[in-house]
Chains A and B, each alone.
Chain A
């Protein structure tokens, strides 16, 4: 036991009391006098050029302003790694859900009504939804260059020689699905000008200081003039890393001089934020007859959809974690991030490392069964311990209690007879 006063103690959550009383303010709970409401018009086509006509919508009583790409006062782009998103698409959409126009009106009802009056003429172009297809040279290009956003390579030892030494080799292909964070609070935000000319954007975000820079660049304002208020956040899980409505409402407040609020409904939320990358994982794992892993080869393809978001970092993380927490002398891993016309993928809890064990941990059980040893045994034989070296050559110098975790769980879960299985 330690002698800490507060560390390790079950102190009550400091924001808990306001939350149990329902007093906590999430962005949708903030109202201002003279406030306007926004509604986003989004693409219904996955890949198309378009022309927009807002003349009818503008005439509707109660409509204050309809923002299109022409109204953007700074750079019409944003993105956490590459600036590959447009704030409002200029002439091309790359996925269903791309924002094209932002209607600002006196009431949410009017904003929605006006949205319906905007005319979009699409000229469809060929689209690609399968990342393996998208990797081919002649595939439709989502952005100007190759659809392959990133390729990570990990090389250790010699896998060909390694597999020759194996008594058992297991080859399987796995696939994970594209999923949503499904945080309970849909995106919402409110923007207004302060008297000294500061533009305030009040929205739930994971990284306010980065949003500040992205919003400043898109609005063409110095970052000191942008203030991010990050009230309570109703869950995030990676889904609030990328900009959604922040620039739209900021631009709205800047151009109308009035507070502008927007609340996405659940369906719009599904289209507005990033998703978890679905991965195709081709695995070849080999071990000797004692269950010692000798070689592992993996090819991992991640569909990042129409925008990169964190794809590079996500697929890098997939690649680095592709061996699982096991010491293996011969490793060859290739992971790719690929653009398609699907919803865009980015950060989500586990960030490319959550998908991996769906493959690599099933591989472990398959090998164990073939060798007639238990799932517990094969893991204990190979798992990282203090001073183990990872596939990237990193030494795990301390705090590696993995075998302890395995022993505690197995002892409770399995009967003695199940520990050696087969």
Chain B
């Protein structure tokens, strides 16, 4: 018999290194020869989209196209330290560093433009389409390329380096009191499962994910994170286990260590919840880890709702579920 059940779970997650450890990201912005703008950061693209999001943040400040940004992050001899690509910290931390550095770069760009345009002050200058112009008299303008050419002739470089440090306090060693992380990211996931009472197999037939993001930098990429986090969470809940025996990993290949395939997952309804975080770049918070967290408990609660068994030990394999159903389930 197949029985259905629904379950939800919520989570909060403090992003960043935490507990007072200096959580610093540094970014360097440079005007390149052809008027392109380079962003150098030590932030790794692990597939999460750091290159794209950091380019979006940087280009937004100058009002240019993302194609006019060159993002350099593959070489320690060319990049400043932007901390690790972990703790869901790159969008928030390095994003902030890029934003601040770009604002500082813009000031310098205005100073150069002031000279080039023969102005007394840089007040009222703006950027758009790789041009610097005077807002009250737009005919007064120069291009990023012209500025770059002038600098090249003078053998000078226009660049700005800035750092951002996230707030975190060390907790009291006896009471654990303190403000270890900031910002926190929240979410609620719901699933509906179908449990086969004869085999113990669980099918996830519906999934709903509401994810707080502060401000969405790139909704498609956020959805991609939610999908991926859901898949990893489903594997964690239902099949993944190294099968340790006296320190030996029994399941040390993909024929034995089972991760979800496209057939194991439902279509996922995703809700991106915006509530901008004032300390984040344009309001953004980290989401890379949070997207995985409520999946397993939501599934476990749904299994209980379906067949009345509480799986207290992961993973909720068919054998474990069947065993529990036989001893006390509500079938």
Chain A contact residues, CB within 8 Å of chain B: 4-15, 46-47, 95-97, 127, 129, 152-156, 172-180, 182, 198, 205-210, 212, 226-238, 240-241, 266-267, 270-271, 275, 313, 316-317, 319-321, 324-325, 333, 340-343, 347, 349-351, 353-354, 357-358, 360-362, 365-366, 375-376, 379, 383-384, 391-396, 398-402, 404-406, 408-410, 412-414, 418
Which A residue sits closest to B57, measured CB to CB? A7
A231 lies within 8 A of B74 (CB): yes
Known contacts A7-B282, A206-B85, A353-B11; decide if A240 and B6 are in contact (CB<8 Å): no
Contact of A313 among B19, B275, B282, B292 (CB under 8 A): B19
Known contacts A405-B273, A413-B190; decide if A46 and B247 are in contact (CB<8 Å): yes
Inter-chain CA distance A54–B142, complex, in Å, is 68
B192 lies within 8 A of A270 (CB): no
By a CB distance below 8 angstroms, the chain A residues around B183 are 399
By a CB distance below 8 angstroms, the chain A residues around B208 are 408-409, 412-413
B188 lies within 8 A of A405 (CB): yes
Contact of B212 among A275, A358, A405 (CB under 8 A): A405
Contact of B310 among A46, A275, A362 (CB under 8 A): A362
B44 lies within 8 A of A227 (CB): no
A236 lies within 8 A of B85 (CB): yes
Known contacts A230-B44, A270-B249; decide if A212 and B76 are in contact (CB<8 Å): yes
Known contacts A206-B84, A396-B184; decide if A405 and B42 are in contact (CB<8 Å): no
- Give A13 Cβ to nearest chain B Cβ, in Å: 5
Between A and B, 9 residue pairs with Cβ closer than 8 Å are A7-B217, A129-B247, A177-B241, A229-B75, A229-B76, A321-B13, A399-B278, A399-B285, A406-B10
Inter-chain CA distance A275–B55, complex, in Å, is 32
Cβ of B177 < 8 Å from any Cβ of A?
yes
A366 lies within 8 A of B310 (CB): yes
Inter-chain CA distance A15–B45, complex, in Å, is 9
Q: Mark B58-71, 1 if CB is under 8 A from A, else 0.
A: 01100101100001
By a CB distance below 8 angstroms, the chain A residues around B277 are 398-399
- Give A236 Cβ to nearest chain B Cβ, in Å: 4
Which A residue sits closest to B300, measured CB to CB? A362
B47 lies within 8 A of A266 (CB): no
A14 lies within 8 A of B210 (CB): no
- Give A421 Cβ to nearest chain B Cβ, in Å: 9
A392 lies within 8 A of B47 (CB): no
Cβ of B138 < 8 Å from any Cβ of A?
no
Chain B contact residues, CB within 8 Å of chain A: 6-14, 17-19, 42, 44-47, 49, 51-52, 55-57, 59-60, 63, 65-66, 71, 73-77, 79, 81-87, 171, 173-181, 183-184, 186-190, 192, 206, 208-212, 214-221, 229, 232-233, 235-236, 240-242, 244, 246-249, 252-254, 257, 259, 269, 271, 273, 275-278, 282-283, 285, 288-290, 292-294, 296-298, 300-301, 304, 310, 312-315
By a CB distance below 8 angstroms, the chain B residues around A129 are 244, 246-247
Contact of B244 among A333, A342, A362 (CB under 8 A): A342
Inter-chain CA distance A172–B14, complex, in Å, is 25
By a CB distance below 8 angstroms, the chain A residues around B273 are 401, 404-405, 408
By a CB distance below 8 angstroms, the chain B residues around A15 are 45, 51-52
Known contacts A11-B56, A270-B252; decide if A325 and B86 are in contact (CB<8 Å): no
Inter-chain CA distance A349–B242, complex, in Å, is 17
